[in-house]
Structure 1
Amino acid sequence: MSNDSKPDDELAGTEQPFVSHLIELRDRLVRASIAVAIAFGVLAFFPGPSALYDMLAAPLVAQLPAGSTLIATNVISPFLVPLKITLMAAFLIALPIVLYQVWAFVAPGLYSHEKRLVLPLVFSSTVLFFIGVAFCYFFVFGQVFKFIQSFAPKSITAAPDIEAYLSFVMSMFIAFGAAFEVPVVVVLLVRMGLVTVEKLREFRGYFIVLAFVIAAIITPPDVVSQLALAIPMCILYELGVFAAGYFNQYSKAPDEQA
């Protein structure tokens, strides 16, 4: 009898913590969803989905010939596309709250030295993603569209589709937002012991080639957007190498420091 009951004794008390973790995860997801929903409701009233799309399309419209506008080839596109943009903007606005909920869920299971690393990385990754998106919108779009329109034959009237433009914008935002996370990735690689700062310095030349290859793959086939992505990646790589040494020492466990 004692041998039969031993597996039950070993599992005793494990169900309740697991259920409590699931409940906490649900609560965190609900709070993050509420934050996104509130941001969506505010943006739906001011400035509104149509105004948000006009703001998003402004860099392209500014480079189109006089009288040219974007078109909708789908019947429901004028309704769905602005709503998608509003949802995207709401998620970006609520992103700090969403990341805080993720941090609050995993923080109890971390050591103090791990918290010293994770919290700055969560904050810096959020800021770097926003900087990448802003850099893409305010600088890259204008230069890319100007470059493309300069090669357009005069016999062609440009009238881009709004869904195609949204897909292009989303891919560019994700590409530049992810590219600006290079310092965070470098710091994590060093802290996890997968590579050393010295090896990263030796890898500098290879990374420059890799950055231009990545830029050529994920950006449109024009020189402007490729340079606009590859050059910041190289600069951010140097920033990540510099920061890796500091964070590696700052987030060490007490026994590692000893």
Structure 2
Amino acid sequence: MTDKAPVEETFISHLIELRNRVMRAVIGVAVICAALMFFPGPTAIFNYVAAPMVNALPAGSSMIATGVISPFMVPMKVALVVSFIIALPWVFYQLWAFIAPGLYTHEKRLVLPLVVSSSLLFMAGVAFCYFFVFNRVFSFIGAIAPASIAVMPDIENYLDFVMSMCLAFGATFEVPVVVVILVRMGIVSIEKFKEVRRYAFVGAFVIAAIVTPPDAVSMLSLAIPMCLLFELGILIAPMFVKATQAPEEPA
């Protein structure tokens, strides 16, 4: 009974620490969301997010809302998602602060750069999707739409599409981080990654075909960056391994 008590106390203390970190992350997102509610406001944020679709619509067309409360709820959801993206470094920092006490000094040198790079890569993926992919996808769809069809997208469907696409691009831009972690943990070697390079490229195109709309523009816009980021992960992984080795650890 006495042996189990310290284990239970340690487990409970970890749960309390996890709860505190989650609450701090949520509070950070809530603070940014509250600030965005006042400036620039949910409507302005939604108008900015919807701009690629609106600009690609035929003259005289506009987006519609089929739900009763959609004109209110959709801008609020967009503001919440934008708040989470802005607060992503704070959220990742809370994750790092939770696991940092259990790491060695040389391991901590790896975690902090990964937290920063993960945040930047996810934001880069979302920005790439918004500024590059959306304009081309919506223009392509508008160009091939029959003249007999009135293009008036529903704002809820548009939000679902935007969120899924941004999530897909943000997640796939984490490829270098995944490669670095697998190499550093010794699960996959650099040589093995180089051997399976061709299969990784094929997998990138398969994933792009699954998560993007059925057009070549979207697929290539996701598959090509994934291949380049895979190569980037292979390039920088040895540097991370060397920088985070313990003094007595062999190369």
Q: Indicate whether the TM-score tops 0.5.
A: yes
Unpaired runs of at least 5, structure 1: 1-7
Runs of 4+ in 1 over 6 A off after TM superposition: none
* Cα drift, residue 253 of structure 1: 2.4
Aligned partners of 1:96, 1:228: CA distance in 2, in Å?
25
Alignment partner of 1:48 is 2:46: no
Which protein shows a greater Rg? 1
Per-residue Cα deviation, 1:87-134 (whole angstroms, up to 9, x for no partner): 111111111111111111110011112111111111111100000000
- Most deviating of 168-177 and 24-33: 24-33
In the other structure, the counterpart of 1:75 is 68
In the other structure, the counterpart of 2:205 is 212
Picking from 187, 190, 194, the partner of 1:194 is 187
In the other structure, the counterpart of 1:4 is none
- Most deviating of 220-229 and 109-118: 109-118
In the other structure, the counterpart of 2:29 is 36
Return closer, same or farther for 1:12/1:217 CA change in 2, 3 Å cut-off.
closer
Aligned partners of 1:25, 1:189: CA distance in 2, in Å?
25
* Cα drift, residue 14 of structure 1: 3.2
RMSD after superposition: 1.3
Picking from 3, 12, 15, the partner of 1:22 is 15
Query: Does the 8 Å CA contact 2:53/2:135 hold for their aligned counterparts?
Result: yes
In the other structure, the counterpart of 1:138 is 131
Per-residue Cα deviation, 1:25-81 (whole angstroms, up to 9, x for no partner): 222222211111110111011111111111110001001001111101111111111
Amino acid of the structure 1 residue aligned with 2:103: L
Aligned length: 251
In the other structure, the counterpart of 1:156 is 149
- Most deviating of 25-34 and 49-58: 25-34
Alignment partner of 1:250 is 2:247: no
Aligned pairs for 1:108-147 within 5 A: 108-147=101-140
Query: Does the 8 Å CA contact 2:89/2:115 hold for their aligned counterparts?
Result: no
Aligned partners of 2:36, 2:193: CA distance in 1, in Å?
43
Aligned partners of 1:192, 1:23: CA distance in 2, in Å?
28
TM-score by length of 2: 0.96
Aligned partners of 1:12, 1:33: CA distance in 2, in Å?
31
Identity %: 63
Aligned partners of 2:40, 2:15: CA distance in 1, in Å?
37
Aligned partners of 1:209, 1:13: CA distance in 2, in Å?
50
* Cα drift, residue 191 of structure 1: 1.2
In the other structure, the counterpart of 1:64 is 57
Picking from 230, 236, 240, the partner of 2:229 is 236
In the other structure, the counterpart of 1:170 is 163
Aligned partners of 2:30, 2:120: CA distance in 1, in Å?
22
Per-residue Cα deviation, 1:145-195 (whole angstroms, up to 9, x for no partner): 111111011111100000000000011001100111110111111112121
Unpaired runs of at least 5, structure 2: none
* Cα drift, residue 10 of structure 1: 1.6
Aligned partners of 1:14, 1:196: CA distance in 2, in Å?
36
